[in-house]
Structure 1
């Protein structure tokens, strides 16, 4: 045969081909050389392959690419390309184009499988597999690659999203990630959850109890929620753009302290105070100057400063509760230190030393 598997017509049907070194010769078959004319006689042939001599039944001639094996004509290619040996164009030959995935060997006598990178009829197409193996039996590019585990698409160049295929995990508490090394699904607890060492499941993290929140304890309180937490503003604060800001109760409510006489409103962090006005104090006690009477039954009264000058004034001087100093009955008197005790003060009469206070006038 030729290297493409075809069987050429080297001799006439009534002749036999004799192989010689580097060549061949054609001689008349003894089956058809009974009269010396070498004329083909189809009546001597059966199955279109085996022709028997009318003179000697042990003399046969094999036609159309068959060979004599134990006095029987069989296709020559049965032994070199079993399953591919067929009669084509009148002669038996190897038909390596019968199925995809095979090609002719270099001598044309048998069929061999495609290499690692080719497929199709005659192995004429090249595979372009990235993460897979070439399928030699493919008949088109869509069948040309058998993908490795974890890969898909025509050329096996795309990772299979295992997480998208696997719906057994709870996406509300855990995330699924495809491992780039082996393509397996890796499950990671979502923020706000952690692995329970006993069950192995993702469970809620109490950020408030574990000091994992970012709540400012001075202005807010932490409240745990499933998978997260909330920072609730304390009383006296309001949420503005996610931050707890002090409420200025005095500006919001101008009459916040109106129920308390002689007071004014002062805003403080998280609250406010109703403080006594100037020269007023809680119960009139000067030690309670600017005292806060909010949410109390106390009163803001004029301050009594008599304790500042008690037992320090000699008549006619008197101790003033308003100023906390010794004062004279009128501006005609002069307030001076007492001559016999400079820790005391008294009043000199007009015309002193010729006029003096006699105890009553």
Structure 2
């Protein structure tokens, strides 16, 4: 039957998980340092709504009840500050907890010993070997018999998760004693821990008192699951065997069966440790006598303890029949420190924890949950995907003085299986004497000069000595430590600058960074002559030439300049002083800044040989003569513009000469008319009558006949006969009253008259015959009538003309 209890005020019923007390001597006279650890169900932990990371980060305290310390110290609040939280969704909410500690001083002036206890009601439902329920008051009690001595120090857990049916599961208290007193452990009695105390009905647990190791024996646990009380007194004794301290350590051992074949979905619906950390706050008819809840022996010396050899034998026998979940539970390996080992700590320590677990033949390294018990100030990383975490610690001076510090780790796989609680003792080397520092396990002289802890001024040199140091003036300073003054090397000439460098004094030294004027530093760092002329850093003017000298330069006037009375380079006028080289007859000297030019006279230009030659303005069209009315005539160096033919100059202007008016034309008085136009005239033939045209043709026929005869051409007579016959036929084709002339427009233009003017006598028979042919064709074109009755005759005439002249060509 599940039995529940309740408390008055801030109830701790069913919520208590763990607790312990430890003591240290204090550096403050009359004081003693107390460290209380407590673990509570998370939602009933003294933190409203449950502890959170905020409370850890801000070190927020919580108080649940009071501790009682014997007078004159009296009552103190049961306060703790959360350092560990279990709130994983993989874990049943009743198993969520807040766990932490609180360190405070108590006044022990005039006190040599005292008792320190805590008591409340009620525990969660606990079970023994047979599965019988246990419940009632819980508490812890410490005995301090020497306030000038520190108690054993250890790290306590909030819970111990135990796999049912699996042998070899142990809990290592791992106590250390600051004064190296003898330390042993024993089960707490009923008067010390009430219902948490060990009884003969809890044979599933055995205690190695000398080594402070609790071992679980599954073969003695008939139920294989449930919550079990674990309460131990950790005690130290002086060399005479006298008890110095008896300090409590109490927590809950949770026995459960891991479901290693469970799916993620099953695990989500069935959180770890469900129903194993339960209890109610309801009273029953026995709440007036909580200690009667179970029958148990209160004499912790009445049971027989198992020795380590017996424990090993039993565990070996049980392992042969272990369930599958016992195999492959989390274990530490690799760089992890060995169980119970000691690690010496200097200024810093890094502890590496490596863990893995397996299911069948598959090894896993994920660590969903873990707990570190560590000294104040130690930080630990989370386990990474390789199952590795690192804890780092820089011990304080006070921690170094305390000497030993416990450090433990426990991890859980996703099935809730826990590793053994593996613990090491961190032993901090004692502080070194003043002027010394630690190197590993030994103190060596501290080189204050090297580590920068000296007090020498910036103008002093630190010189290390064994256990100390001293200061002297640095190079470049004079005097003694504390009153060093600058030594001016430049003034006294003790510098090392070269003759091309400037010595610049500085505080405690000098430099040769600046080159003397006229010198620059080269790529090798040497001051060499600066070529001001090449670099453009000289001071010469625009009309001066720069000439470099060693360390400086000079300026001289450029060609064409001379220095005047004011020292300024002024231009020389070569044209004025006659020092030019221009050709007097062809060139003009023109002065310019620093020189002169020889320009060709007007009308001349410079050829490819550089000689000035005449420019033919007429040929180039660069003359200024009036177009048409004047004609350009070139001369040396210039040109003239006489009037063009047909023009004469009147009042300086060329005007047209009217040849027709003046009668100086060459036109035929009878056959042509003179028409004047600008610059000349034209002789226009007057229209010829039919008779004149026929007369003209006769003249040319006779002329042609003469030419033929002169050429002794055999066809002369035949030509003459045929041509005269043509004329007769032509007369027959003309009709003065012709109504349709061949081309009346041509008659008006007198093409035949134009032919006559253009025709000339030629001794060439062909040329002469062609002339006659042209004249005849012109006559036909001008005078042949194109009436219907004459067209045929006219056509014959034209055809005959071609035939009569062709033989001569």
The bucket for the TM-score relative to the shorter chain is 0.3 to 0.5
Structure number with higher helix proportion: 2
Greater Rg by CA: 2
Q: Normalization by structure 2: what TM-score?
A: 0.18
Q: Normalization by structure 1: what TM-score?
A: 0.36
